[in-house]
């Protein structure tokens, strides 16, 4: 059973556009929601993370929006660049399981010039 | 500062064999977690170690095991390999097993079973 559901599976965006990736979860015990970026041949790299006590967090061109009541969170990439082309994973974890992260299935983002 | 180092990067084995993968965390990091990444199942948690003790284990058969040494380096072992064990095995380290500490992943070991 997939504890974190991610969509879309793939996304194509024009350079300068906004990329939006969505995730949903069921376990209300989750209290930490990171996003990871993975390039081919590399391990995932932490991009940005949020906790449920805030509804939005912004770091540069990357923003996480969090809707606790809907149990959904999303990643927005503003002014998308070809260098942003990668696979993005959302994840979630809860206090009882330390560093055990439940990952979404990933979104392959392609930014075309 | 060196990142998480995983060795070897690539490995080819046959069914029934066993394999040991190694992970050196970032200097000063004491928590190490292992994940299996496959196209079909995505990233799945294997186990987490802190201070040489396994703190948490994912839903994998007993053929998958691990350990951590006093210098925080970790190894994972898979015995009686099956074709379905073909995957990218990722190691992540953090200072402590605390959600305020970001996890840093290595580039993984690509294991292929023939």
- pLDDT for position B112: 97
Contact yes or no for B87/B111 (Cβ under 8 A): yes
- pLDDT for position A99: 79
Sequence-distant (≥ 6) Cβ neighbours of residue A111 within 8 angstroms? A12, A13, A14, A15, A17, A19, A80, A81, A82, A83, A84, A85
Nearest residue of A to residue B43, measured between CA atoms? A103
Which among B62, B65, B73, B61 is positioned nearest to B19, based on CA atoms? B65
Structure tokens, A92: 């979630």
Is the pLDDT reported for residue B101 higher than 80? no
Contact yes or no for A103/A89 (Cβ under 8 A): yes
Is the pLDDT reported for residue A1 higher than 80? no
Contact yes or no for B109/B43 (Cβ under 8 A): no
Which segment of A33-37, A64-68, A83-87, A99-103 scores lowest on mean pLDDT? Answer: A99-103
Which among A54, A52, A64, A60 is positioned nearest to A23, based on CA atoms? A64
- pLDDT for position A97: 74
Structure letter (DSSP) for residue A101:
P
- pLDDT for position B99: 63
pLDDT category at B102 given cuts 50, 70, 90 is: confident
Report chain B's mean pLDDT, rounded to a whole number.
94
**Higher pLDDT residue, A7 or B56?**
A7
Residue with structure tokens 């660049």? Answer: A81
Integer Cα distance of A112 and A97 in angstroms: 39
CA distance B56 to chain A (A): 7
Selecting from B50, B56, B105 the residue whose C-beta is nearest the C-beta of A43 gives B105
Residues of A in contact with B103 (CB under 8 A): 34, 46, 99, 101
Question: Hey, is A82 helix, strand or coil?
Answer: helix
Q: Measured in whole angstroms, how far is the alpha carbon of residue A62 from the centre of its chain?
A: 10
Question: Hey, is B49 helix, strand or coil?
Answer: strand
- pLDDT for position A46: 93
CB contact under 8 A, B105 and A95: no
Question: Hey, is A108 helix, strand or coil?
Answer: strand
The residue-averaged pLDDT of B24-42 equals: 94
The residue-averaged pLDDT of B40-64 equals: 93
Is the pLDDT reported for residue A100 higher than 90? no
Chain B residues 54-113 with a CB less than 8 Å from chain A: 55-56, 58, 90, 92, 94, 97-99, 102-108
Contact yes or no for A78/A63 (Cβ under 8 A): yes
Which among B66, B68, B76 is positioned nearest to B30, based on CA atoms? B68
Over the stretch A8-56, which tens digit does the pLDDT of each residue have? 999 999 999 999 999 999 999 998 999 999 999 999 999 999 998 999 9
- pLDDT for position B1: 67
Integer Cα distance of B104 and A86 in angstroms: 17
Structure tokens, B102: 């970001």
Over the stretch B16-32, which tens digit does the pLDDT of each residue have? 999 999 999 999 999 99
Is the pLDDT reported for residue B100 higher than 70? no
CA distance A102 to chain B (A): 7
Is the pLDDT reported for residue B4 higher than 90? yes
Structure tokens, B21: 């993968």
């Amino acid at each position: 059973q997939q504890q974190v559901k991610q969509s879309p599976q793939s996304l194509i965006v024009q350079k300068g556009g906004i990329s939006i990736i969505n995730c949903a979860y069921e376990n209300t015990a989750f209290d930490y929601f990171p996003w990871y970026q993975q390039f081919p041949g590399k391990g995932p790299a932490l991009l940005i993370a949020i906790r449920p006590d805030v509804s939005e967090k912004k770091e540069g061109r990357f923003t996480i929006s969090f809707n606790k009541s809907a149990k959904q969170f999303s990643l927005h990439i503003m002014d998308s660049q070809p260098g942003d082309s990668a696979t993005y994973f959302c994840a979630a974890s809860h206090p009882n399981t330390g560093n055990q992260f439940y990952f979404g299935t990933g979104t392959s983002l392609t930014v075309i010039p | 500062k060196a990142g998480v180092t995983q060795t070897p990067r690539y490995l080819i084995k046959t069914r029934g064999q066993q394999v040991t993968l190694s992970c050196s965390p970032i200097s000063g990091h004491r928590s190490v977690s292992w994940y299996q990444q496959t196209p079909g199942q995505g990233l799945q948690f294997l186990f987490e170690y802190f201070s040489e003790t396994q703190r948490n284990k994912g839903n994998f058969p007993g053929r998958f095991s691990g350990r951590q040494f006093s210098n925080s380096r970790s190894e994972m072992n898979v015995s009686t390999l099956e074709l379905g064990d073909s995957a990218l095995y990722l190691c992540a380290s953090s200072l402590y097993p605390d959600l305020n500490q970001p996890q840093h992943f290595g580039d993984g070991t690509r294991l292929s079973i023939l």
